[in-house]
Amino acid sequence: MIMACQPHVDGHYYYYYNNNVCLSNLGVGGGASRGSTVGASSYSKPLNKSSSPPLKLIRQSGGGGAVVMASSGCNNNNGNNSKKMKTESFLRHVESLASFPSGAGKISRLNAVILGEALSSEENDIVLPSDDFSRQALVPSPQKYLEMYKRSVEDPAGFWADIASEFYWKEKWGQRVCSENLDVRKGNVKIEWFKGGITNICYNCLDRNIEAGLGDKVAIYWEANDPGVDATLTYSQLLQQVCQLANYLKDIGVKKGDAVIIYLPMLMELPIAMLACARIGAVHSVVFAGFSSDSLAQRIMDCKPKVVITSNAVKRGPKAIHLKDIVDAALDECAKSGISVDVCLTYENQSAMTRENTKWQDGRDIWWQDVVPKYPTKCEVEWVDAEDPLFLLYTSGSTGKPKGVLHTTGGYMVHTATTFKYAFDYKPSDVYWCTADCGWITGHSYVTYGPMLNGASVVVFEGAPTYPDSGRSWDIVDKYKVTIFYTAPTLVRSLMRDGNEYVTRYSRKSLRVLGSVGEPINPSAWRWFFNVVGDSRCPISDTWWQTETGGFMITPLPGAWPQKPGSATFPFFGVQPVIVDEKGVEIEGECSGYLCIKSSWPGAFRTLYGDHERYETTYFKPFPGYYFTGDGCS
């Protein structure tokens, strides 16, 4: 009989019955991008019953038997919403975390530290949440997680409908919350959530929060590349500037469904432009401001935007990048293929380049500052269906042609808001900083939409985190009293190499949750992030997800269960990960295979722009009935 389990640094979970150990593996590397390898999920069989006395416990908050998943709650293409699912083995691991073994001394091969009480070392396999942190956490225990997770997969329609009801809908969705077909053998792949529901994500990010009394709360703290230059916008001020740009776009002929290319650096005008497009139902496509003119031209030719929004230049560290020159070259290339753009709206970023030094094409190029501030600060909302497109985000394709990942409005809104809230244990008093650029999915979901749907105060940083030195990030943390800091392992390792002194010269006392995104974080970098940056008192949300998923898929929930360096731990609500073999058969036990997701989730992308066949071939044909992540497990 299994009495308890603990995760181990080598990726395994150890089940303890007195002094007997049964080995099981449940390590999933966080932050992986498509095509990478994550840790395996494999499971052991329970130990045989024994008459030995049970273990003493250092903490107990409930328990229970094995969990059996039943109906998916979503309608497949045959209208059958009672598809049976196998017992989800990983839930047995979560459930056993309800109690932790203790007793006569140290348990073999397992060492743990408690959050805030000691540093994590190579000898420490896990970090247990402290009682104080768990007590105030949104998900304070494995039992609460299990309760919510079980409902999210047994009754996804009810689970997500309850959450969606917290947002504003002009009209509620129809009888079906979710309709899906992931099996190419049964027809075209289709995913729909909240179809028929009429809403607007900009309204929910701004107007709804202002109506709730947050109008004077800071929405954006903007930090320039050069120290000492900054600005703020409250939610009311942000809405006014969004409306001005939205009115301008409408005036030049941009309407619902039209594409708008945004090639801006991390100025406040970047989230303003995204929200303005969403307000009028236009489909924004943000391109990282630094991509080549060829890459930009490819994206312009694919989506044929009505307007390109850019800046004349940006400074990253001591270097100025002439963005307008890149846009000009891209538009020239597009013109050779018969694709023209009528308007290039250009923001004058005076710290990087004056307008006098900016190359200009009369009749096409317009200065933002000359036109946008003249427009009214109120703009009517374009109400859209939940399944109307919100944005395109291009990812590099294996054939050389970028893939236009298309996300729709309602499901994405609900999923990103919910993942942000729980994965970071968000509180209204938090100040949140994600170092990602809005040119990537992280900047869409966790700089703009997810935080603002929760009414958060967000730091937006224009510059480089090592300029003027490697202490810049912690200077910003102290300046704005940042409480949640979300960044990439690449930056963590870079700052780690530069030495602790750049970190320890700053207080960082405001920090309470750290996060990792973009790639797996190796255990040594995880420990440095935890020990040095977080002073061993901040849990790390090591998130695994993709551009295509829209939001987090596998992630720790701070305060809910122990953390293991380098592991993203367990699936988020509604996410059902499985390992399949080359024939698409689900496998358990210690194994190597392919990471897939069965059943849809609200934030899933709906197609590749203009190429649904490629969408099906890439993501659903390899293993019919599943979304194939492109990741392997070993």
Encode pLDDT of 533-585 as tens digits: 999 999 999 999 999 999 999 999 999 999 999 999 999 999 999 999 999 99
Residue owning tokens 């923001």: 347
- Sign of CA pseudo-dihedral 141, 145, 150, 155: positive
Residue 296: CA atoms inside 13 Å, Cβ hemisphere, count? 29
What pLDDT sits at residue 63?
Answer: 26
Q: How far apart are CA 564 and CA 544, in angstroms?
A: 14
User: Which residues pair with residue 347 across a beta bridge?
Assistant: 311
**What band does 57 get if pLDDT is binned at 50, 70 and 90?**
very low
Q: What's the residue count for the chain?
A: 634
What pLDDT sits at residue 83?
Answer: 38
User: Which residues pair with residue 483 across a beta bridge?
Assistant: none
Q: Are strands 57-60 and 99-101 parallel, antiparallel or unpaired?
A: antiparallel
Residue owning tokens 């859209």: 384
Q: How far apart are CA 517 and CA 520, in angstroms?
A: 8
Q: Does the pLDDT at position 156 exceed 80? A: yes
What b/e sequence results for 43-59 when a residue is b if at least 16 CB atoms lie within 10 Å of its CB, and e otherwise? bbeeeeeeeeeebeeee
Q: How far apart are CA 350 and CA 240, in angstroms?
A: 23
Q: Which amino acid is at 77?
A: N
348-357 pLDDT per residue, tens: 999 999 999 9
Strand order in the sheet with 607-608: 365-367, 343-347, 307-311, 259-263, 283-286, 389-395, 403-408, 607-608
What pLDDT sits at residue 265?
Answer: 98
What pLDDT sits at residue 505?
Answer: 98
Region 252-276: mean pLDDT is 98
Q: What share of the chain is helix, strand, coil (3-state, %, to 5)?
A: 30, 25, 50
Q: What is the DSSP string of 239-305?
A: HHHHHHHHHHHHHTT--TT-EEEEE--SSTHHHHHHHHHHHHT-EEEE--TTS-HHHHHHHHHHH--
Q: Does the pLDDT at position 107 exceed 70? A: no
What pLDDT sits at residue 95?
Answer: 61
**What band does 41 get if pLDDT is binned at 50, 70 and 90?**
very low
424-477 pLDDT per residue, tens: 999 999 999 999 999 999 999 999 999 999 999 999 999 999 999 999 999 999
What pLDDT sits at residue 590?
Answer: 81
CB 250 within 8 A of CB 172: no
Q: How far apart are CA 276 and CA 381, in angstroms?
A: 10
75-97 pLDDT per residue, tens: 544 333 333 334 355 565 566 55
- Under 8 Å CB-to-CB from 617, ≥6 apart: which residues? none
User: Which residues pair with residue 459 across a beta bridge?
Assistant: 221, 433
User: Which residues pair with residue 101 across a beta bridge?
Assistant: 57
Region 111-138: mean pLDDT is 91
DSSP 106: P
- Under 8 Å CB-to-CB from 380, ≥6 apart: which residues? none
Residue 530: CA atoms inside 13 Å, Cβ hemisphere, count? 31
List the domains of the chain with CATH numbers.
142-464+544-633 (3.40.50.12780)
Q: Does the pLDDT at position 53 exceed 70? A: no
What pLDDT sits at residue 633?
Answer: 82
Residue 103 structure tokens: 């007793």
What pLDDT sits at residue 396?
Answer: 79
172-226 pLDDT per residue, tens: 999 999 999 999 999 999 999 999 999 999 999 999 999 999 999 999 999 999 9
586-605 pLDDT per residue, tens: 998 788 999 999 999 999 99
* Helix or strand run (H / E) with residue 614: helix 612-619
* Helix or strand run (H / E) with residue 150: helix 142-154
Q: What is the DSSP string of 20-83?
A: EEEEEEE---SSPPTT-EE--EE-PPPPPP--SPPPPEEEE-------------SB-TTS----
Average predicted confidence (pLDDT) for the chain: 86
Q: Does the pLDDT at position 232 exceed 60? A: yes
Q: How far is CA 314 from CA 86, 220, 221, 325, 543, in A?
A: 53, 19, 18, 12, 30
What pLDDT sits at residue 75?
Answer: 53
Strands (E), 85-203: 99-101, 112-114, 126-128, 178-181, 190-193, 198-199
Cα–Cα nearest to 434, from 482, 498, 393, 471: 482
What b/e sequence results for 319-356 when a residue is b if at least 16 CB atoms lie within 10 Å of its CB, and e otherwise? ebbbbbebbbebbebbeeeebebebbbbbbbeebbeee
Q: Does the pLDDT at position 343 exceed 90? A: yes
Q: Does the pLDDT at position 420 exceed 90? A: yes
Q: Are strands 319-321 and 37-38 parallel, antiparallel or unpaired?
A: unpaired
Preceding amide of 305 cis, omega within 30? no
What SS3 state is found at 125? coil
Cα–Cα nearest to 252, from 378, 368, 409: 368
Q: Does the pLDDT at position 147 exceed 50? A: yes
- Under 8 Å CB-to-CB from 519, ≥6 apart: which residues? 31, 32, 33, 36, 488, 489, 490
Taking only Cα atoms into account, the Rg of the chain, rounded to an integer number of angstroms, comes to 25
Residue owning tokens 């099996």: 183
Q: Are strands 431-434 and 457-461 parallel, antiparallel or unpaired?
A: parallel
What SS3 state is found at 363? coil
CB 245 within 8 A of CB 372: yes
Q: Are strands 314-316 and 319-321 parallel, antiparallel or unpaired?
A: antiparallel
What pLDDT sits at residue 618?
Answer: 96
What pLDDT sits at residue 89?
Answer: 55
110-121 pLDDT per residue, tens: 688 999 999 998
Torsions phi, psi of 34, nearest 5? -60, 135
Q: How far apart are CA 207 and CA 378, in angstroms?
A: 11
CB 556 within 8 A of CB 97: no
Cα–Cα nearest to 280, from 347, 203, 192: 203
Which is more confidently placed, 319 or 93? 319
What pLDDT sits at residue 98?
Answer: 52
